[in-house]
Homo-oligomer: A and B are copies of this chain.
């Protein structure tokens, strides 16, 4: 049994794997797929896997993706071979919630201007600071991450509305709307936060009319995937004052091209797809992987966090 990692866990983490699974041969090869042909299990960030790789990986039965998004993976090739795919859905919820909250509170409490004034050594007490407390947030995609965002926002006195395809219940949401009914609630919302994955249904889900329906003071935060809204639609909404601010962790094209207008727009924060970063990332990914590998070896059960490659999440 061969397990190939295309990233390198820390020394003590590698040793833990080797000790716990003496019957398994582990290879830790940074972005190196030379050992794919003999690998039974692949543990990868999933970004650099091609259909040819899958063809070469004749023994491959399980791909453990140490991230949440699988949209860049060769879906057809994997599905055809009936390779099991699992991810680490949920391990992003803490760092992502903290990033969403950091950016939101930073704007409410004037941190950008506080930082700017410090650079200028300017003691300026005219901040225009407002409060997050008492505002309303729409959370588009209230899965593991979205519900954690909802939980924390509620603790801060924010009214939360969830939005998913069906409008069915999600925890920590005071109300729910379906994708089809989103226009109805947008005029009541102060913050629109998307953590949606990229699927056929979510691509360009938000259109010009949605931004027109938002408050002029609204903050739009995209922490899901960049193709939720066309760049030009968002740029227009920001330039015409349909909304006040956009905080973007994801983009239609990543890295964001250096001549892209977002970089220099006063009311845009460009975060380079880092909201899930955490010093605890690999540790948590292994916390998902290790019990799953035990089940797998015992031929007892499929891994948890199975990904349906047809749906894309």
Contacts and interface: CB of A to CB of B under 8 A. Distances in A.
Interface in A97-142: 98-99, 101-103, 105-106, 108-112, 114-115, 117-118, 121, 123-125, 127-134
A115 B114 contact: no
B133 A94 contact: yes
Interface residues of A, number: 52
B272 A94 contact: no
Nearest to A273: B125
A109 B95 CA distance: 8
Nearest to A278: B131
A133 B108 CA distance: 22
Contacts of A125: 272-274, 277
B105 A98 contact: yes
Contacts of A121: 258, 263-264
A37 interface: no
A129 B98 CA distance: 10
A58 interface: no
Contact of A270 (B118, B129, B258): B118
* Chain multiplicity (copies): 2
A304 interface: no
Given A102-B109, A129-B278, A114 B263 contact: no
B94 A131 contact: yes
A152 interface: yes
A111 to B, nearest CB: 6
A162 to B, nearest CB: 19
A256 interface: yes
17 contacts: A95-B109, A99-B105, A102-B102, A102-B106, A105-B105, A105-B106, A110-B274, A115-B269, A118-B263, A121-B264, A123-B256, A124-B272, A125-B272, A125-B273, A125-B277, A129-B278, A155-B156
The 8 closest A-B pairs by CB, nearest first: A102-B105, A155-B155, A123-B255, A102-B109, A129-B277, A121-B263, A118-B270, A99-B109
